[in-house]
Amino acid sequence: MSAPISRVVIAGGGSAGWMSAAALARTLQGTGIAIELVESDAIGTVGVGEATIPPIRIFNQMLGIDEAEFVKATQGTFKLGIEFVDWRHKGARYLHPFGRHGDDFGPVAFHQHWLAQRARGDETPLAEYCLATMAARQGRFAPPPANATKGSVWSTFSHAYHFDAGLYAAFLRRRAEAQGVVRHEGRIASVERDGENGNVDALVLEDGRRLEADLFIDCTGFAALLIGKALDVPYCDWSRWLPCDRALAVPTAPAGPPLPYTRASARNAGWQWRIPLQHRLGNGLVFASSFIDEESARAELLANLEAEPGAEPRLIRFTTGRREQAWSHNVVSIGLASGFLEPLESTSLHLIQTGIARLLSLFPGRDMDPATRAEYNTLVAQEWDGVRDFLVLHYATNARDDTPFWRHCRTLPLPDSLRARIELFRSSGRVIERDSPVFNRDSWLSVLLGQGIEPQGHDPLAHAMPAAERANVLRAMHKVIAQTAGAMPTHADTLARHFSAKG
């Protein structure tokens, strides 16, 4: 049996580093394992990850974080989904909501009943059967009641957050240090490796300090000092599927009451994000430099802001893709060190979260068991590949013909896994669900339909229920959802009453 690990060193801070530190401190409490983190105040972070998806709530709950305390500390707002504007064609918009459409009944999924009813002439949009969508459209939000029952309309509802990523890292740092995590200030100058097995022995800082450990977690961002530079793990370049390779980020003052959703608006050679926080709007433009130069992209971003910029737009260069192995030797890469996927579906912090969760579920001994490492790498690769497919879906299925970029996107080669999903949905309305994906059936439904992919049929088992009975069930669900959404307070009112950072 392998000897247990006695010391973990996290290289890098930011969201990835402090999420890792806080989670390890909480989970490994009482084991005697020392957890240390090294970062330099002189090194900036990318810091544009201000939008999340619902599993972040599970992460915060695991850490014992109170929702109100967290939202106040991070200048947060609530998020019910992502609105896509002009993606299918100019003038089109749809919401990818959190939560479910209706509730399953009978032998098939809810949306199969909806498809069967639509075939009989019912033109009610699927979106009207989603509580999150109906609340978002009206700018409303309320946390689910504590006494909500499993079968109630609230059981179909879910939410995430927008927040200041820098404030979140600071919030987690305070918690992690209170639980014994030791922080070292300094730059990493070199990485020492074992000459026999290739493991990392120590990080050497510029002032000569050596930080030894049994396990190292690489949270050094795009620099990837351990997994990339020291261990030379290859990078899988996904540019052939996702051509955007630049982003410009800029804050502005708030523009009106904060909306309870993120907005992604298609532009000439990419798309623009809009993320409402309590104290500012986060804005940015993701674009392909082969279709627009940086100065033109900057002008396009500034021309589409709702308020005066609070700083000069910050340029971020990236190559979409991931490491061939997220875990090599005794180094696990978390966050940008392990890869980059543009923030179109707000997965950056989620992939940090799941990377940490998988490490904890497969926590090694000092021997770094190869089978454990291989399983980790398989699970991480499957998840990243699934998110990649979901992002490609947005681009490749557009119907725009107004710019070279969007015409090029329609020619993108589809990964075989994505092609299979589209073909199955188009033929029967069925959605492939495998390997505990990040995005569930309802997420795929929203984007497939939003991008104009219409099923040519539906599950024949939907007809096990008489049409009149099915219509009555759908009508009742529609009514309850509309009433519940309409009774919610506005998002702004909920924030002001219970979650304001101002006290």
Active site members: 79
Is 90 annotated among the ligand-binding residues?
A: no
Please name the residue that has the structure tokens 């030379």: 232
Residue of 385, 363, 383 lying closest to 20 (CA atoms): 363
CA separation (Å) from 74 to 7, 77, 98, 163, 266?
30, 9, 21, 5, 28
- Give the tokens for residue 158: 């879910």
Name the DSSP letter for residue 215: E
Give the whole-angstrom CA distance, residue 188 versus residue 198: 19
Give the whole-angstrom CA distance, residue 35 versus residue 221: 19
- Give the tokens for residue 439: 């995005």
Is 16 annotated among the ligand-binding residues?
A: yes
Is 315 annotated among the ligand-binding residues?
A: no
* 469: helix, strand or coil: helix
Give the whole-angstrom CA distance, residue 403 versus residue 269: 8
CA atoms within 13 A on the CB side of 133: 21
Is 228 annotated among the ligand-binding residues?
A: no
Strand partners, 35: 8
CA separation (Å) from 8 to 263, 460, 495?
39, 55, 39
Is 375 annotated among the ligand-binding residues?
A: no
**Helices 165-178 + 14-27 axis angle, to 10:** 30
- Give the tokens for residue 354: 């799941």
Name the DSSP letter for residue 290: T
- Give the tokens for residue 46: 């990318």
- Give the tokens for residue 2: 């392998």
Burial class of 162 by CB neighbour count within 10 A (0 to 12, 13 to 18, 19+)? buried
Q: Determine contact, residues 469/106, Cβ cutoff 8 Å.
A: no
Residue 149: CB atoms within 10 A of its CB come to 9
- Give the tokens for residue 261: 């959703």
Is 381 annotated among the ligand-binding residues?
A: no
CA separation (Å) from 210 to 80, 150, 198, 207, 468?
46, 53, 18, 9, 73
Residue of 312, 250, 253 lying closest to 48 (CA atoms): 250
Residue 31: CB atoms within 10 A of its CB come to 12
Is 185 annotated among the ligand-binding residues?
A: no
* 65: helix, strand or coil: coil
Strand partners, 183: 37
- Give the tokens for residue 223: 């620099």
Annotated binding site for FAD: 13-16, 336
Annotated binding site: 13-16, 79, 336, 345
Annotated binding site for L-tryptophan: 345
